[in-house]
Structure formats: structure tokens, C-alpha cells
Chains A and B, each alone.
Chain A
Amino acid sequence: MKKKMISMLLAVSMVAALATGCGSGESQDNGSKDDVTTIKWFTSRPVDGAIDQTVREIADDYSKEKGGKVVVEFETTADRPSYLQKLKTLIAGGNMPDIIDIDADPYCQELVDAGMLVDVKKFLQDNDKYDDFYPTALRYQEFTDGSMYTLPLEYNVEMTWYNKEIFDQYGLAVPKTMDEWLDVCKTLKDNGITPISVDGVDRWPVQRYLAMMPFRETGNDFIIGLRDGKEKMSSQTGKEAAEFMQEIGQYFNDGFAATDYATAQSMFLDGKSAMYYIGNWEIAAMQDAYDAGKIDYFYLPTIENGKTQANEFCVNSGIGMAFNSETFDSKTKDFVLYLLDNYGEIYASKQQISPIKTELPSDVEFSDLYMRIRDDIENLGENFLKPWDTYLDADTNTTMQDNLLLLASGELSVDEFCNMIDESIAANVK
């Protein structure tokens, strides 16, 4: 009887040991079974979007070229917040994938400080690829000190799209200055038109509006100073930013805090709002209305005696690709170089603007809108607005994004907002 029980206990514990053994075995396995190398890309690009398609095509070709010995595995979480949460959990658990997507934000800096990421600038320079890129696309990926650990796969400008019919109806001209812009909004609102539709659910579109005035006044100096604790949100520039946020916030659609991306965009395209701020990655959605002469776009208006000019506005090269320094071996390097050689042309052929300079493929017809935006990009100025969420520490950024909605809807005062941000910066600056 006693023996039976002991043997049973043993059996149970063995099963348990087996189960745990399997678990840890799997996580240790980095996929070099049967001399097939698996490179894992943990990614946050929209599934079946242009980038996703391009990299998949290239990865398939590469795999074929290598006789199936190298396989690139995609693990996609398009929704950014859940992607970041998964990524951070993987890294905290010591299981960083071979290739990841990350912005050059303070969290990324921590990874760099811990020696976990490959120096992409050096990699590009060593392999004579650095000059293949548009300089601004690379500068977007840089940290403030000029180092660069992330590789851009896209290149975007952001602009305000406007409804030409509505503008014509009320005799409005495209605003050249920020004041004119506010006047346009006021006229529209007085006539019962929703001036701007905004996606408040995702927070970042609202945050762009906060960044506008400081960018016009100081370039990115204000936000860098703010991040480093040398500048205050309650300074004059900071307050002006918050005041502008509150002023333009009254022209946002009702209930913008609960309006999501798709709704905000369809409001604009259905003519229910007069303006909508988004980047050229939505070019496909805008194409038809643009061709029909119903909509057009303008870039960020200027201010008098500002530091930045009309051809300087929000430009980004998106979330970057970064490489795990532990698993960045010759095989991964080889794949990345192959990717760089082929990316520009294939990506451009999908009506996208590539961060890698490339001749436009002759067998694809490009729209007027595409060519016009491409020209704009060729004529960019020296400065560009870098989104604030890539500068601020995660905690302050969460506080800012949460409370921005209240500031914009007028339920939080400028002073309260500024103090809240300053307190958070003070608590988090290192």
C-alpha cells in the first residue's frame, strides 16, 4: 500500500518534470535543427501592408536562393500597444527575438545601454549602405547623441488633408500661418461644420497637435530639453503649446476621445469634417477623392519669426527594425544585406515612398498624388518634427497622452496639465 503510493507520487512528479522540461526546452531552441537557420522577426507592421508584403517577398526569395536553409519567421502583432507589451515581456523574460521593431525611444536606449542591440549606423557604414538612404529617414531613427540602432523601412510625411468643397463654400483659403488655421477652424465651426476629425482612442494623433507650436518656435529643442529635465512644460513655450492644444481642441469633433482611427478618417472622407491630419501612408484611402478634386492637403502652417520653415514639418521613417546583438551572426547579417539590396525597388513598386533612394520602377504607373508627395520629400528642409512619444519616458508619455484628451476638451486647465507633466518628468528623469 505504502509502496503503491510512493510509486504513484514518483510517477506524478516525473510527469511534472517532463512537462516543465518540455517547456524550457522549447524556449531555449533557437531553431537550428537539421541545419536550417530560422531568423525570427517579431514585428508590428500591419499584416498584408506594403512593408509586410515586401519583406515577405524578399524573405521567400532569399530562402529559395539558400536552398531552404534559411527561413525567416514572422510573428506579427499589428496593434502597437499590445505589441510593445509583448515585446517588453519577452525581453524582461530574457527571450529577445532576433529581429524586433522598436522606436528610438528611452526604452530602446535602455536596451542599447544594456548592450542588447546592434549598432545599425556602424553596420550600414561598414557595408557601404549608409548613403543609400535619404538622410532624414536615417536621422529620424537617431538618438539625440547621433547614434543609431534602428533601421527604417518606411518614409512618411504628415499633413492636414482638407475638403476643398467645404473650403470653397465658405470662401476659405489654405492657411499659411497657425493663426490663419485657427481662423479657418472658427469660421467652419460658426457655420456648423466640424472643422477637424481626430482619432482620440489612439492618443498619438492628439499628441501631434501639442507638439506643433514648440516645433515652430524651437525645432525639437524644447522636447529634448523637456525630456532631460532642463526645460519645463510650465515654461512659456510649454504653456503656449498647451494653450494651442486647448484652442484647437475646441474644433475637434464631438467625442473625439472615443473616436477611433477608422471613424475619424471616414468622417473626413464622407465630408462630415473639413480637415483631417494623417500621413501619406493613407495615400491609397485619399487617392479617389483627390483624383476627383474633392480633397487636397497642406503641411503644418508656420508662425512669424519661428525657427522652422514651411518645408519643415512632421516627417518620420516609422518604427525601426532592430537586431538582437547576441544572435546577429553572419547568417543574419547576410539576410539583412540582401534585404537592403532589394527593399527599395519592391517597396516603391507598391506605391510607397522608400527610405532607400531608388529609381522608380518603369513598369508601375504612379499617381499624380504620389509624385507630388515624392517631390515634397525631395524638397524637405533641414529640421523635422519628431513625435514626442519617441522622446519621452514611457511613464511621462502615458500621463501626457491620458491627460491630453482632457486638456483638449477643456476639462483640464493649462496650468494643471503643465504641472502634471513637470511632476512626472521630475520623478522619472535620471
Chain B
Amino acid sequence: MGVIKSKKWFLAFLLPGLLFYILAVFYPIEESLRLSFMDWGGIGEKKFVGFQNYIDMFHDKVFYESFLNNLIYLVIVVVMQLGIGLLFAILLTYMTKRVTLVKTLYYVPCIITTVAIAQLFRSMYATEPMGLLNQFLQSVGLDQFVTSWLADIHTALGAVSFPEGWRFTGMYMVIFYAALVSLDPSVYEAAKVDGASELQILFRIKIPLIKDIFLLTLTMCLTGALRGFDIPFLLTNGGPGNTTELLSTYMYKKAFSSNQYGYGSTVAVFIILESILVVFILRKIFSEKEKK
């Protein structure tokens, strides 16, 4: 028999998945790349323009603004998702009762549809009628902070980033929790016998032991944030002005609102390259640590 051992058979089993991957992921990327060298309004012939779109992109003020906004968005989202997720996971390991209930409750935001989340936060941020957030501020006497959070250029970017962070905190919490409870207790019990404090055990033993999980979650979280689109788009559509414009919303606008499919694809290619670069750097950092 030896079906499992034969390398050729692996290929046959991989083929459907590979075909699907090529069609659903690789082909669109290739098309974007091809379109990024073209000037095309959606009707008629595509015109080859070489690197003109890329040159334009690096002279585009809004592009830089979106890039910067995207970085701020990324920091907020990553800090919330990983930071708070990890904190909750650690706290959860000290809980003895109702762990599953808490886990489930915190996971709920992940399964709510995006549109509902956007609507939820739109109402919370609103001043007309007074939203939850502003009501809260009023009731604790912080009236000077009451504002229409999505319309105010100083708060809009933060306001569109927060829901995305909130939404997946529970998911990362579950991942971290699973990793933490799967650790072999004998390791840190030994440390405890040697007189290590809880904090020392946490930072010196537990967290280093789940390093691989960090690589995974960071990759997911960073690439997710770089591609962030739905909630900001639904909440403000990049506005007011371009204060909440992210690279992906800008790409969408250029391609589908402005009919500049070529230029939109150029921004798309930039997002892909950026994501690949981030993953590459992450792997590099983590593998270097391993060598030490």
C-alpha cells in the first residue's frame, strides 16, 4: 500500500486546495499587479502606462495621509487586541469558576456582523440623539468632552479604530488562554518552589513559553489591521475630509468611486507588499531570538 508515504499522492490531495488558492488568492493578486501598470476607467481599452501610477502614488498627499492614519489605526488595534486580549487571558487563568461563561461572553463580539457593530457604535458615538458614550460623559460631569465622535476631526480616527480592536479582543483572549493553560504546570511549579513570584513566573516563564503563539497572533493582527476596511468604511467612509482614510478605503474609493482601476490596483499592490514585508520582519525578529 504505502499510499500515505508516497510523495506523489500528497500532490493529488493537495491539488484541490492549491487550485482553489491559485484561483481565489493568487489570480486576483496577479490581476491587481497587472492593472497597476495600466490606466483604465472600466470602459474600453486598458492603456499601459508603466510605473506612472506608482510615481503618482508617491506624490499623492492623500496616500501619505492614509498611510499615516493606517499606522495609527494599526497601533490602536494591535494594542487593544493583543494587549487587552493577553491581559484578560492571564486573568482568566486565575479564575476557577465560570471560566467558560466568561470566555463565551467575551467572544460574542467576534460573531456579530460588521454592519451591526458599525450601527451600534454609530449610535453610541452620536450626539443626536445623545449616544451612550456622551450620556456617560455627561453623567460623570465631563460635559466638555461631549462631542460627535465621528464628526470631530480630532477624535474620528480613534473612534473608528476602537470598534475593530474591541471586536477581536475576545478572540485573541481565547487563543492566549488556550496557550497558557496548555503549558506544563510542572515547569512553573518548580519555579514557585525556587521562590519565584507570580509576576516573575508570568514574564520569565509563561510568556516566553508561548512565544510561537505571539508570532501567530501578531501576524494575524498586523496583517488584519493593515487590511482594515469594513468598520471605518461603514462608520465614516474615510471622512470627514480624509481624516479616517485608511489605505484600503482609499484603494476602494479610487477604484470604485473614482473609476481609476489602475491607480486603485497600485494602492492594492502597495498593501500586499506592505503586509508581506511586515510578516517577513516579524519572522526575522522571532527567529533571531530563537538563535539566542
Answer whether residue A193 sits at the interface, using C-beta atoms and an 8 A cutoff.
Answer: no
Question: Are A402 and B258 in contact (CB-based, < 8 A)?
Answer: no
Inter-chain contact B148/A114, CB cutoff 8 Å: no
Bound complex: CA of A201 vs CA of B234, how far in Å? 10
Contact A395 B147 (CB under 8 A): no
Nearest A residue (CB) for B256: A85
Query: Are B126 and A258 closer than 8 Å at their CB atoms?
Result: yes
B80-88, B163-171, B235-243 - the one binding chain A:
B235-243
Q: Is the interface of A mostly helix, strand, loop or mixed?
A: helix
CB atoms of B125 and A258 under 8 A apart: yes
| B254 to chain A: closest residue by CB | A395
A402 pairs with B44, CB closer than 8 A:
no
Is the CB of B289 closer than 8 A to any CB of chain A? no
| Complex interface residues of chain B between 255 and 276 (CB less than 8 A to chain A) | 256-261
Considering the chains assembled together, what is the distance between the CA atoms of A409 and B152 in angstroms?
Answer: 9
Question: Which residues in B have their C-beta under 8 angstroms from that of A263?
Answer: 126, 128-129
The distance in angstroms between the C-alpha atoms of A16 and B239, with both chains bound, is 44
CB-based contact B240/A88 at 8 Å: no
Expressed in whole angstroms, the Cα–Cα distance for A116 and B12 within the complex equals 46
Taken together as a complex, chains A and B put the C-alpha atoms of A301 and B96 apart, in Å, by: 71
At the interface, is chain B mostly helix, strand, loop or mixed?
loop
A89-122 near B? 1/0 per residue, CB < 8 Å: 1011000000000000001001100101000000
Number of B interface residues in the complex (CB < 8 A): 39
- Determine if B43 and A257 form an interchain contact, defined as CB atoms under 8 angstroms apart: no
Beta-carbon nearest neighbor of B13 in chain A: A8
Contact mask B39-55 → A, CB, 8 Å, 1/0?
00111100000000000
Q: Does B103 contact A (CB under 8 A)?
A: no
Do the beta carbons of A8 and B241 come within 8 Å of each other? no
Task: Please tell me if the beta carbons of A406 and B125 are within 8 angstroms of each other in the complex.
Answer: no
A337 within 8 A of B: no
Does A398 lie within 8 Å of B258, measured CB to CB? Answer: yes
Query: CB distance B259 to A402 under 8 Å?
Result: no
Residues in chain B near residue A403, CB distance under 8 A: 241-242
Q: How far is the CA of A8 from the CA of B184 in the complex (A)?
A: 45
Residues of B within 8 A of A255 (CB): 126-128, 147-148, 150-152
Q: Return the 8 tightest CB-CB contacts between A and B, nearest first.
A: A255-B148, A257-B151, A258-B150, A395-B258, A255-B151, A92-B42, A405-B240, A406-B241
- A-B contacts, 24 of them at CB < 8 A, read A1-B6, A5-B12, A8-B12, A9-B15, A85-B256, A110-B41, A254-B128, A255-B152, A257-B236, A258-B122, A259-B126, A259-B148, A263-B126, A263-B128, A267-B128, A394-B257, A395-B254, A395-B260, A398-B258, A402-B241, A402-B242, A403-B241, A405-B239, A411-B153
Q: Report A's interface with B, CB cutoff 8 A.
A: 1, 5, 8-9, 12, 16, 81, 84-85, 88-89, 91-92, 107, 110-111, 114, 116, 200-201, 253-259, 263, 267, 272, 394-395, 398, 402-403, 405-406, 409, 411-412
